Amino acid sequence: MKKKAIALMLSVVMAAGVFTGCGGAGQDLAQEDASKEGADVQTAGEAKDSSQEAPKEEADDGPITLKFATGSSECVTALNTIFTKYHEENPNVTVEVTVLPGGVAGFNSAMASKLAAGDAPDLFQYQWGTQINAYAKGGNLMDLTDTGIRDVVQDIKKPMNVYDGRDYAYPVEFSLWGLMYNTEIANNAGVTGTPETFDEFISAMDKMRDSGVEYPFIVPAKDGSGATGFVFCYLHQIVSGENPEFYYQCCTGKKSWDGEEWRNLFETYDKLLQYANPDSLGLDVDNALTRFARQEGAFMVSGPSTIKKLEEMNPELEGKLKYIPFPLYENEGDYKTIADFDSCISIWSGTKYPEAAIDVYRYLFEPENNMLIAESRNAVSVVKNADTSYVDASLQDQVPLLDAGKYVGYSEREWIPGIKEIMKTIVQEWIGGTDLDTTLENLQKEHQRLLDASPEFLQEFEELRSSTGE
C-alpha cells in the first residue's frame, strides 16, 4: 500500500512538469465566480479602461532603461545607432534592443508569454496586421492617438492599428514582397530581361535548366514561411488582387477554402515545384540562402532585406541580384508588385516610463531615424515626403510600378490570427504528398475551427472593412 502511494505521488509530480513549463498566466481569476459557467471574470470594458489609464512615471529625472523588442534582426544595427544618438541627447534614458527570434510566429509566441507574465518590453516592433487588435483588445497597448504620429506617416488605408476608435500602433516601413532573381545565371542561360508573365517565368527556368542549373527555383519548405512564400504571392497578386472581397466571402460562406481559387493556386505551385529542389521539405531558409549565395539557383521568394544578406555572404553577387514581383500574370499589362506596410511599433501599456517611451517613440518617427530603419530592411520610409534615393539598386525596377500605383497589398494581414501558421503546416503536408482534395478540405476545416473558436472575429473584421469603405 505504501509503495502504491509513493508510486502515485511520484507519477503526479512527474506529470506536473507538463504544466510548470508553460504555467503562470499572470492574471488572477475571480474565485467567487469560479463555479459559474460563462461568468465574466473581468470584462473587456474593464480591460480597455485600464489600458487607457496612463501609468505613472516611476522616476522623472533618474536613470531610465527602456526595453525595445523586435523580431527583425536586420534592424538591430539601425536601432542601436538611433538609440545611441537618443541617449546622447537624453543622457538619463537608455534603450536596450532585444531580438525575439523565430519569425512572426516565434515573436508572437514570445510576446504572448511576456504579456501574460506582465514582463513585456516597453516598446516593440512586430508585424502590421490583426495582431495589433489582438494586443489592444487585451489592454496590452498604450493609446497613441494623441502622439501626433498619424500626421507624420503616410495615409493608412486599412486602419488595422485602430481599436475602438483609438490608435495603438503605427507602421514603420513600406516594404515589398516578391522574388530574388540572379541575373547572372539568367544571362548565362540566354534569358534576356526580367520575366513578367508566368509563361516567361517558366521559359526562363527551362533555359536555365538546359544551361545546367538543375533546380533554378529554390524552395526552403522546411520553414513554414518558406513553404508558403509562393502561396502568399499568389494570394496577394491573383486571388485577393483580383477579388479584394475574397477572404470576407470565405468567412461568410460565399467562397470556400476548397474552391477553385485555392485549387488553381496549388496547381500553379505544382508546376513550379517541378523546377524546385526536391529536398525542399528538408531545406530551411538559412541553408537555402547559402545555396542561393553559391548560385545554385536563380529564383527564391523572400523579403527584400535578404538581398543585402546575400551580398554580404557572397560579395561577387553585388549588382547581379534583382528583387522582382512574382511573374504570375498572363499578360504583361497586368504586371503588379506587392507592397504594403510591413512592421509597426507599439508601446506596452504596463511600461513604468510612459512619457519616456512616448518620447522615444516620436524619435523613431523622425525622418532620418525612420529612414535608417527602413533602409536596414531594404524598404521605403513611411514618413511623408521621405527621401527614397537610398533604395537599393536591386529594387529600382519596382519604383516605377509603385509610382504608377501598380501594386497590391498584403491580403493575409487582416485574416484571423493563427491561420497563417495553419496554412504553413498544410502546405508542407501537401508538398510532402497529401492529395489536393484532402489539402483543401483540411484548409477549410481548420479555418472554420478558428472561426468557431473566435466568434467575435467576424464582427471585428466587418468593422475594419466598413472603416476602409470596402
- What's the CA dihedral at 388, 390, 394, 397 to 10 degrees? 30
Residue ranges in 134-153 that form contacts with other proteins under rule CB under 8 A? 134-135, 137-140
CA distance 77 to 84: 10
Cell of 174: 513600406
Coil, helix or strand at residue 77? helix
Q: Residue 25, Cβ neighbours under 10 Å: how many? A: 11
Residue ranges in 180-219 that form contacts with other proteins under rule CB under 8 A? none
Coil, helix or strand at residue 95? strand
| Least Å from the CB of residue 39 to other proteins | 6
Which of 65, 187, 267, 278 binds other proteins (CB under 8 A)? It is 278
Helix (H) or strand (E) holding 179: strand 173-182
Which of 224, 303, 304, 354 binds other proteins (CB under 8 A)? It is 224
Rank residues 125 and 140 by Cβ distance to other proteins and give the closer one: 140
| Least Å from the CB of residue 108 to other proteins | 7
Residue ranges in 67-126 that form contacts with other proteins under rule CB under 8 A? 105, 108-109, 112-113, 115-116
Rank residues 377 and 447 by Cβ distance to other proteins and give the closer one: 447
- With 0-12 / 13-18 / 19 or more C-beta atoms within 10 angstroms meaning exposed / middle / buried, residue 78 is buried
Contact between 283 and other proteins (CB under 8 A)?
yes
DSSP state of 30: P
CA distance 258 to 128: 27
CA distance 141 to 163: 10
Coil, helix or strand at residue 389? coil
| Least Å from the CB of residue 281 to other proteins | 3
Selected range binding other proteins among 187-195, 235-243, 272-280, 355-363, rule: CB under 8 A: 272-280
Residue ranges in 327-386 that form contacts with other proteins under rule CB under 8 A? none
Residue ranges in 421-440 that form contacts with other proteins under rule CB under 8 A? 421-422, 425-426, 428-434
| Least Å from the CB of residue 113 to other proteins | 7
| Least Å from the CB of residue 430 to other proteins | 8
Residue ranges in 1-60 that form contacts with other proteins under rule CB under 8 A? 3-4, 7-8, 10-25, 27, 29, 33-44, 46-47, 50
CA distance 267 to 441: 15
Which of 122, 418, 443, 464 binds other proteins (CB under 8 A)? It is 418
CA distance 73 to 80: 11
| Least Å from the CB of residue 109 to other proteins | 4
| Least Å from the CB of residue 283 to other proteins | 7
Cell of 452: 468557431
